[in-house]
Chains A and B, each alone.
Chain A
Amino acid sequence: MNIDWFFIIEKIALISGVLALSLGVAMYSTWGERKVAAIIQDRRGPNRAGFMGLLQPLADGGKLFFKEEIIPTLSHRFLFILGPSLAMLVACMTSAVIPWGDTLTIGGRQVSLQVADINIGILYIFGVVSLGVYGIMLGGWASNNKYSLLASIRAASQIISYELAMGLSLIALLMLTGSLSLKDIVEQQRHSYWNVVYQPLGFIIFLICAFAECNRTPFDLPEAENELNGGYHLEYSSMKLGFYLFAEYINMFISSALMASMYFGGYSFPFMDSLGLDANLITILGFVALFIKIICFLFLFMWVRWTIPRFRYDQLMRLGWNIMIPIAIVNMLLTGAWILYKQG
């Protein structure tokens, strides 16, 4: 059998790189969240651990690891542990199909900065994201606590409801691009305008649904800290709680990357082909450009969190089913009509 060892090493390096990247960004998102909260509220934020509090995520992680681990006696032990693990696993799996950059040429070999360019990239993300509900539901049920159960049902119905509108808003985009591969979508935007120009309404719907999918304010009812008695992770402590919270930040990072790739040109940036620079340098610059876009989205997530109050549950459901889905369908029809008109 002829196994291309270089290929395997390359992919393993890429996978570990992407995983380390998402974990690192998620770690520093917690720091960023607290810093953004502080500066918006005219405070200073964490500044004790290291320069500007940059070691704060390490301190938090260390604290969570050494906290006492409590598993309720009457819980379903296996599922109780499976819940957060599943949430984390699913969050880490999504990053596989996101194109982090164009190809690098190392020693005459083309190395694509994308773990897997499968022709159904977006559907893969949807499939994986739809599994994220299991982590929440199993955790809430296995705790054997009615408040956890209610919160997990709340979370699951919210995520299912908003997945619909999200999918519908994406269909309009896919009709335009004609491809489900994220790489193709980014490459198309490289030679033309960003998709947000063609799909402003679709982008807004996707953005709102992304907020709901990541359980972020104003849709953070699954974990309303103050008024709804915690959330599905009510009985969790130590690093299991940390995993749930961490998975959420990874989801936030991935959805930012997704929005940047699908609507804001991904790793492409204006005039990237007319600069006349070395191809490898352009690739690295493209990666930086993608990262800047992602950080802008992360900041938007945090900025909204510290501005807008939480929805009531019936308002949330009404927004999802009575407003978002009809608008998404109308957007889809308009896009279809426009494509037909263009074709003549």
Chain B
Amino acid sequence: MNTQQVIFLVLSAISLASAMGVILSKNPVTSVLCLILTFFTIAGHYVMLNAQFLAVVHIIVYAGAIMVLFLFVIMLMNLNADVEPQKRNWLKYAGAISGGTLLVILVAALRDASMPSLQSGSTDIGLIANLGKTLFHQYVVPFEISSVLFLSAMVGAVVIGKKE
């Protein structure tokens, strides 16, 4: 086993364990922290794929911005209250069905996917210059469409905020 494999195994073990921690922990704040840890290990995987830009953006966007907002909301909840609203039965069934469907889709998609073994350092697509060129040449239309999506989300937020 070379160093890379060891690092990969350790990172994967941590990410799986912390991902389990997200859904298993009773305290929402602990869940959020576990999720942040998961994001970090995934960023570590990006670094191993020589995609430093993706790794850092992943940390900035997910760990640095989105999870902060999550934490914001969770901190303002009254966590001491034991009165958890009783979940209705049909809600449980709906959750099980949708989760199961997602699993089926994922398995079906991954079964046929060809998984070439990645050579480290062979790909430079994650470096900032190459990624920028690809994004703005090959994928410029999807990129702009997603920016329109963000714009509409911002407008929506402003509209909701201005209601009163």
Contacts and interface: CB of A to CB of B under 8 A. Distances in A.
- Please say whether the chains A and B touch (CB closer than 8 A): yes
Interface of A: 1, 76, 79, 118-120, 123-124, 126-127, 130-131, 133-134, 137-138, 140-141, 149, 152-153, 156-157, 160, 180
Contact of B68 (A76, A120, A134): A134
Contact of A76 (B29, B36, B57, B72): B29
A1 B3 CA distance: 10
Contact of A120 (B36, B75, B128): B128
Interface in B56-71: 56-57, 59-60, 63-65, 68, 71
A79 B128 contact: no
Interface of B is mostly: helix
A138 B65 CA distance: 15
A123 B56 contact: yes
Given A79-B29, A160-B65, A127 B75 contact: no
Nearest to A159: B68
Contacts of A134: 36, 68, 71
A126 B53 CA distance: 12
A123 B53 contact: yes
> On chain B, which size bracket covers the interface?
20 to 34
B105 interface: no
Contacts of B127: 119
B72 A120 contact: no
B75 A130 contact: no
Nearest to A82: B33
A156 B68 contact: yes
B72 A156 contact: yes
A93 to B, nearest CB: 12
A120 B128 CA distance: 8
B153 to A, nearest CB: 16
A150 B75 CA distance: 10
Given A130-B63, A134-B36, A120 B52 contact: yes
A140 B71 CA distance: 12
Contact of A133 (B57, B59, B68): B68
Contacts of A180: 128
Interface string B17-28: 000000000000
Contact of B75 (A1, A118, A119, A149): A149
24 contacts: A1-B2, A1-B3, A79-B33, A120-B52, A124-B56, A126-B56, A127-B56, A127-B60, A127-B63, A127-B64, A130-B60, A130-B68, A133-B68, A134-B68, A137-B68, A137-B72, A138-B29, A149-B75, A152-B75, A153-B75, A153-B76, A160-B65, A160-B68, A180-B128
| Those 7 A-B pairs whose CB atoms lie nearest each other, nearest first | A130-B64, A127-B59, A123-B56, A127-B60, A141-B75, A127-B56, A120-B52
